[in-house]
């Protein structure tokens, strides 16, 4: 049984611990939720357990499609064993429907379909508020090499295709999502972090009800119920 040894990092929603494996870390999912770069804070009951379970199902689905990720195994209801990676300081976003910051910035009605998936990069830097950048900015900032940027874009578009299909099967529209990549000790670029209702917009296909963190960001209520609903539907997949 792999045990958490020393906490080496605490983020807004997760903690990272060393363990007896040199090439791996244990990721602990917390109930803390923040929005607007940490300005709004709360606890969402059971969120850690729900996101751990949801992320587990998604990482396993991505592995079936040969997408490389940091995920190794789920240890208990809040902890995942993952390969140690150096996070590439980019927030990689795909938008299938226009919502959130893009709807606001360009004055487009939320829910407008994108003619093709929109690929966005943000520079992962809390002091700057994670500003929107392009690939040339990412290269100039030294965030990633040209080759890494190409790998990241290709993997991200593949992940989008897998996730659109997965969520379609359970009656959910994958509106948009944010992912992060890391480099393993042996130099491979892999999907890292988490994929959960904290990091995606999920709308019910029939009712368009929001089943993600927008319920918290926008004070819509029933946040935990929405996350439960996502896990319940994912659990019906074989």
| Residue 199 in the binding site for ligand TMP (CB under 6 A) | yes
Query: Which residues in the 29-48 window bind ligand TMP by CB under 6 A?
Result: none
Give the shortest CB-23-to-ligand TMP separation in angstroms: 27
| Residue 201 in the binding site for ligand TMP (CB under 6 A) | yes
Choose, by CB under 6 A, the member of 79, 176, 194, 229 that binds ligand TMP: 176
Give the shortest CB-223-to-ligand TMP separation in angstroms: 14
Give the shortest CB-42-to-ligand TMP separation in angstroms: 15
Residue 227, token pair as written in the block: 């996350």
Long-range contacts for 28-35 (Cβ within 8 Å, ≥24 apart)? 28/4, 28/78, 28/79, 29/55, 29/78, 29/79, 29/80, 29/194, 30/78, 33/198, 33/213, 33/216, 33/223, 35/213, 35/216, 35/217
| Residue 55 in the binding site for ligand TMP (CB under 6 A) | no
| Residue 178 in the binding site for ligand TMP (CB under 6 A) | yes
Whose Cβ is closer to ligand TMP: residue 24's or residue 102's?
102
Whose Cβ is closer to ligand TMP: residue 85's or residue 102's?
102
| Residue 177 in the binding site for ligand TMP (CB under 6 A) | yes
Distances (CA, A) of 98 to 120, 137, 146, 197, 205: 12, 23, 28, 17, 15
| Residue 210 in the binding site for ligand TMP (CB under 6 A) | no
Measured between alpha carbons, how far is 71 from 55 in angstroms, rounded to an integer? 9
Give the shortest CB-20-to-ligand TMP separation in angstroms: 31
Give the shortest CB-19-to-ligand TMP separation in angstroms: 26
Whose Cβ is closer to ligand TMP: residue 93's or residue 159's?
93
Measured between alpha carbons, how far is 220 from 214 in angstroms, rounded to an integer? 8
Whose Cβ is closer to ligand TMP: residue 52's or residue 199's?
199
Contact letters for ligand TMP, residues 64-103 (x by CB under 6 A): -----------------------------x-----xxxx-
| Residue 216 in the binding site for ligand TMP (CB under 6 A) | no
| Residue 200 in the binding site for ligand TMP (CB under 6 A) | yes
Footprint of ligand TMP on this chain (CB under 6 A)? 93, 99-102, 176-178, 199-201
């Amino acid at each position: 049984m792999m045990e958490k040894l020393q906490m080496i990092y605490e983020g807004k929603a997760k903690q990272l611990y060393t363990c007896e494996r040199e090439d791996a870390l244990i990721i602990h999912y917390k109930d803390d939720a923040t929005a607007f770069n940490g300005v709004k804070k709360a606890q969402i009951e059971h969120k850690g357990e729900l996101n751990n379970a949801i992320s587990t199902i998604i990482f396993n689905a991505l592995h079936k499609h040969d997408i490389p990720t940091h995920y190794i195994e789920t240890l208990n209801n809040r902890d995942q064993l993952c390969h140690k990676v150096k996070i590439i300081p980019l927030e990689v976003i795909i938008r299938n429907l226009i919502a959130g910051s893009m709807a606001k910035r360009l004055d487009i009605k939320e829910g407008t379909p994108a003619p093709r998936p929109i690929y966005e990069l943000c520079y992962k830097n809390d002091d700057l508020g994670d500003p929107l950048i392009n690939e040339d900015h990412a290269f100039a900032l030294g965030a990633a090499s040209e080759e890494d940027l190409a790998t990241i874009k290709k993997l991200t578009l593949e992940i989008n295709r897998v996730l659109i299909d997965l969520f379609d099967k359970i009656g959910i529209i994958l509106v948009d999502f944010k992912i992060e990549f890391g480099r393993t000790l042996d130099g491979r670029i892999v999907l890292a972090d988490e994929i959960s209702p904290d990091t995606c917009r999920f709308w019910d296909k029939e009712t368009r009800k929001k089943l993600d963190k927008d319920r918290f960001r926008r004070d819509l209520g029933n946040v935990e119920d929405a996350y439960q609903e996502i896990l319940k539907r994912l659990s019906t997949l074989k």
